[in-house]
Structure 1
Amino acid sequence: MRLVLPNPGLDLRIPNYEDLEKMEKEDGDRPKWDNKAQYILTCVGFCVGIGNVWRFPYLCQTHGGGAFLIPYIILLVLEGLPLLLLEFGIGQRLRKGSVGVWRAINPYLTGVGIASMLVSLLIGLYYNTLIAWIMWYLFNSFQGPLPWTQCPLNDNRTGFISECQQSSTVDYYFYRVTLNASASITDSGGLQWPIVICLLAAWTVICICYIRGISTSGKAVYVTALLPYVVLAIFLIRGLTLKGAMNGKLLSEGVEGTGLAFIVFTEAITKMPGSPAWSVLFFIMLLCLGLSTLFGNIEGVVVPLKDLNLFPKKWPQEALTGVTCLVSFIICLLFAQQSGLYWVTLFDNFAGSIPLLTIGLTEMIAVVYIYGIDRFNEDIKFMIGKKPCIFWQISLRFTSPLILLVILVFYLVTQAQQELTYLVWDPDYDEFPTLASVPYPSWINVVIFVLAGIPSLVVPVYALCRLVFVRCKKKMNQAKIFYFV
């Protein structure tokens, strides 16, 4: 006996296999990938982003080093891959965006698509801020020596700035020259106009590339998806040949995810011959990683907006993309303040944590127990010629949802027991240049609720609102019938 919840009207909301074949023949003018390689590289580019260079190594080091990879690989197999199969399979079967897919499965699940759209937007905001920082470093790499290789002179030109001498040239360049970071998230300090210009350039590039469609982005992925692996391999080989390769700065205290890309790597580059050329190559690599990820994020925002009919139907997708990027740029001015680094850290910690767990759990429950796992198996067989093996059956039905639920509960319990703190660059700190750990102000809980709570609650709130609407509409119709009778 298989448990499948009642879902009336499903067959009327989804196309049958004959309709899919007919759609395939009629969509001759629909933009398509030139070949499978472009599609695979696009998926790789979306999955492997800046976080793999900017954040993952830091998290790996601070959570046990090599031992961290053991649970990571286990969860990748038991959780990540089944969820990837589920999303790819159901998206390809229904041929809709995130809102359209879940609305077709059941109208009460439309909130899943809206939540996914919000998470894509929030992550895209601070990811493109990182691209703006990358552009700043890239522009400043075309000079020798590199500007972060030496401390600047003080105002009297009698010596070097003491703040730089107390820390290091790469630390000072990142925290003071690039970001001019304030000592608190409550001290905005005004806009950093070089970063504002870089943000404008970053959103302009994303907008233009996305508007050009897969005819352009499909060819660009040959560079954006492959170049990072070539460059990282070169850096790995070069790094292992340097003296003291086993005593890297990753082992030191105070290197955050952000610091890894913009401090540790930049310092390593200064020790390489022809450092400006290596710096240009490194930040072009980071730019490729960022752009390939942002293409997917923008797709995850624009398509659901179009499905929700929040804009006039006459608007072309290009106009919708332009509006989305313009609004995103305005919001990103928050990150261009002197306190912008701390806002990026806040978004990074909460925008993609609880919401992604709740969305993933809801998607698995929806496909397995509302759409029907047997129906999903037949869909996979229709598309690739065979059903998923026993591993996928066990994972999708039991293992993966249970693991997601356990992780979500433990995460919430752990966060509730911890004091919320963040690291700041404060020259007046007694242990400077170590970053000072300070508590967040109380009002930051409201921001955290916006980042993590609202996307998570969209799913049940939308379902509840729809239930109330349907019930009220039904009562009104009954009242009209009674009146005419």
Structure 2
Amino acid sequence: IDLEELFLGNILNIVKQMELEEQDEQKEVKWDNKFQYLLTIIGFAVGLGNIWRFPFLCQTYGGGAFLIPYLIALVTEGLPLLYLELAIGQRIRKGTIGSWREISPLLGGIGISSMLVSFLIALFYTCVLAWVLWYFYNSFKIPLPWSQCPANDTKLMAECLKSTPVNFFWYRETLNITPDIETSGSLQWWLVVCLACNWSLIYICFIRGIKSIGKAVYVTTTLPYVVLTIFLCHGLTLPGAIDGLLYLFTPDWQIMKNPQVWLDAATQIFFSLSLAFGGLIAFSSYNNEHNNCEKDALIVGIINSATSLYASIAVFAVLGFKANNDLQNCQTEYVAKFKEMSGQLDFTISDEGPLNYSLLVEYVKTNPAVNSMLSLRECNLNTFLDQSASGTGLAFIMFTQAVLEMPYPQVWAVLFFLMLLSLGLSSMFGTLEGVLNPIRELNIVPKWLPVEVWTGLVCLAAFLISLIFTMGSGNYWVEVFNTYVGSIPLLIIAFFEVVGVAYVHRMKNDDIFFMTGKKPSLYWRICWTIVSPLMLISVLIELFPQTQVKPYPGWVVAISVLLCALPVSAIPLVALYHSFKKTSSRLNINTYRVSMENSVQEDQQ
């Protein structure tokens, strides 16, 4: 028995020594300075969604009315969960899987789920960046390729004339989209090249870990704010900009009765702050243990939301300009068509102007004969503003159309897509860190394999899988992944995070006091233990019946369900595994104890 105890003791000492060595390695890797860390976290949080999804949600849900559920979700869910993740990584000094294992082995699946979500999102997110890079490349051409229909192909010309040059360039020249998701189509070589360039650039930035990432964020995080400011200053001088801003800030209170508004507000918070991805925990683990992570959470959360609002002002100023142009064109075309059909008029109509359109409307209403020949056309500014945004169409259709109507359109196109590319790259840093860090902690990769090599292999594998999005049906798959990966799984992971810390680990006040020098306030404690879990579960209850399955074939629906369920399946599976393992260990100990007692009794006899 003495030899057995000595052998077990030596094994435990070796394991502890290995753990201490790993912790020492972790401590050696630190940010160069606090500003670099904040830039990385802000760049991870502020992404493409701040530019095109937040303004789209404001446009969809009654303008300024959406800000109320958004701010409520920020205060009750966003900031508490952001603070929680930053505190976990900084206090435990490990990545996503190591941190949750430290809190409780039963919660180890949370880290695996975060890794899977980050990987799936990275696949289609880089494809969106490939679209951006393609438009950025074409922005240098004179004239811009989406400004006119192709003149050297009669068939393509006919297809373009049925729509608009902007739509044609997006759906045919960029996506080469197929009729449905079942028709895959071929790989679009230009998107494959752009996708390869994106993954190569991301790999270069990751080649030395946070040391190289920390240098890259000085450009990728700050550049978008410079470009946004330029767009805002120019946009406010455009005619119709005030109309766009009034539309943004004029609330429609009735829309707040729709549960989908609150659901999308909560989802936007998660996707915008990059909660439950795992990257925040990984990045904060490289911090000094006594860093004030509460202050960091407030800074990042406020800057992220302020950026969304700042971007919305710039975007709606430009969209107001576009809507004003569309209104003028509508009125001018209607007047011109009436002049062409009427011949002799009993009053004078000049070439253009709202007043002339108003007179014409009154004239058509009071003359049934004219009304029968020329049906009344409603040229309404709000109608054009309502049609200003629809998902990615805000960037690749509406905004590109607005750029054409600006002076020096190439300059504005280059700046706009350079801004989107910078935003996407800085967000990808955190997303990929949420994949690489858990792989490192799971000890999947042999220790003799250099980090540069296996990081490159991960990027190569992700690139090869991402090729599915560069086919003719790629846009459909991007929509499927975005719908089913970026909503339900993140909410479920976040729910288990806050419940795990509040009720399993019971994060003590000493943990926060050790790092910040003060105990968490009543606000944080109430949010972590009551408000945030209730908000998350409420959103989940509303989300399941609200989720609409599009008329895709059965096998696509099955993949969609799998994408939603696969990432979070690790949470119960890991918990069951450790529960079974713990039960088996107890049984073995009891069996061993009984056998030892029996052997002792036999010796005594």
- Which residue of 2 is the match for residue 388 of structure 1? 520
Moved more, 246-255 or 103-112: 246-255
Normalised TM-score (structure 1): 0.86
Q: Is the 8 A contact 2:205 2:216 kept in 1?
A: no
Q: 1:35-114 counterparts in 2 under 5 A?
A: 35-114=33-112
C-alpha displacement of 1:82: 0.2
C-alpha displacement of 1:252: 4.4
| 1:327–1:23 CA distance, 2 compared to 1 (3 A) | closer
Distance (whole Å) between structure 2 residues aligned to residue 79 and residue 156 of structure 1: 55
Distance (whole Å) between structure 2 residues aligned to residue 28 and residue 305 of structure 1: 15
1:238 equivalent to 2:372? Answer no
Distance (whole Å) between structure 2 residues aligned to residue 306 and residue 400 of structure 1: 31
Q: Residue by residue, what CA displacement relative to the aligned partner does 1:46-86 show, whole Å, maximum 9, x if unpaired?
A: 00011111322212211222211110011101110000000
| 1:156–1:440 CA distance, 2 compared to 1 (3 A) | closer
**Structure of greater Rg:** 2
Q: 1:289-438 counterparts in 2 under 5 A?
A: 289-373=423-507, 375=508, 377-415=509-547, 418=548, 420-421=549-550
Q: Is the 8 A contact 2:149 2:161 kept in 1?
A: yes
Q: Residue by residue, what CA displacement relative to the aligned partner does 1:245-270 show, whole Å, maximum 9, x if unpaired?
A: 33446734484321111112212222
Distance (whole Å) between structure 2 residues aligned to residue 329 and residue 255 of structure 1: 30
**Aligned residue pair count:** 442
Q: For residue 573 of structure 2, give the secondary structure of its aligned residue in structure 1.
A: helix
Which amino acid is 2:55 matched to? Answer: P
1:454 equivalent to 2:452? Answer no
Q: CA RMSD in A?
A: 2.5
Q: Residue by residue, what CA displacement relative to the aligned partner does 1:463-483 show, whole Å, maximum 9, x if unpaired?
A: 112322443455456556767
Distance (whole Å) between structure 2 residues aligned to residue 142 and residue 464 of structure 1: 56
Q: Residue by residue, what CA displacement relative to the aligned partner does 1:444-479 show, whole Å, maximum 9, x if unpaired?
A: 221112211111222012211232244345545655
Distance (whole Å) between structure 1 residues aligned to residue 147 and residue 593 of structure 2: 81
- Which consecutive unaligned segments of at least 5 residues does structure 1 have? 1-11, 13-18, 422-438
- Which residue of 2 is the match for residue 162 of structure 1? 158
Q: Is the 8 A contact 1:120 1:300 kept in 2?
A: yes
Distance (whole Å) between structure 1 residues aligned to residue 469 and residue 151 of structure 2: 28
Distance (whole Å) between structure 2 residues aligned to residue 475 and residue 270 of structure 1: 74
| 1:86–1:223 CA distance, 2 compared to 1 (3 A) | same
Which amino acid is 1:40 matched to? Answer: L
- Which residue of 1 is the match for residue 137 of structure 2? 139
Moved more, 249-258 or 81-90: 249-258
Distance (whole Å) between structure 2 residues aligned to residue 242 and residue 103 of structure 1: 55
- Which residue of 2 is the match for residue 4 of structure 1? none
Distance (whole Å) between structure 2 residues aligned to residue 292 and residue 361 of structure 1: 26
- Which residue of 1 is the match for residue 189 of structure 2? 193
| 1:462–1:284 CA distance, 2 compared to 1 (3 A) | same
Which amino acid is 2:517 matched to? Answer: G
Q: Is the 8 A contact 2:26 2:94 kept in 1?
A: no
- Which residue of 1 is the match for residue 557 of structure 2? 445
Q: Is the 8 A contact 1:302 1:320 kept in 2?
A: no
Q: Is the 8 A contact 2:58 2:66 kept in 1?
A: yes
- Which residue of 2 is the match for residue 463 of structure 1? 575
Distance (whole Å) between structure 2 residues aligned to residue 71 and residue 213 of structure 1: 37
Tell which has more relative contact order, 1 or 2 (C-alpha 8 A, sep 6+).
2
Normalised TM-score (structure 2): 0.69
Q: For residue 313 of structure 1, give the secondary structure of its aligned residue in structure 2.
A: coil
- Which residue of 1 is the match for residue 371 of structure 2? none
- Which residue of 1 is the match for residue 379 of structure 2? none
Structure with greater proportional helix content: 2
Distance (whole Å) between structure 2 residues aligned to residue 332 and residue 23 of structure 1: 33
Distance (whole Å) between structure 2 residues aligned to residue 146 and residue 165 of structure 1: 17
Q: Is the 8 A contact 1:354 1:456 kept in 2?
A: no
- Which residue of 1 is the match for residue 253 of structure 2? none
Q: For residue 161 of structure 1, give the secondary structure of its aligned residue in structure 2.
A: helix
| 1:471–1:48 CA distance, 2 compared to 1 (3 A) | same
- Which consecutive unaligned segments of at least 5 residues does structure 2 have? 1-11, 13-18, 244-319, 324-383, 600-605
| 1:196–1:48 CA distance, 2 compared to 1 (3 A) | same
Q: Is the 8 A contact 2:388 2:398 kept in 1?
A: no
Q: For residue 186 of structure 1, give the secondary structure of its aligned residue in structure 2.
A: coil
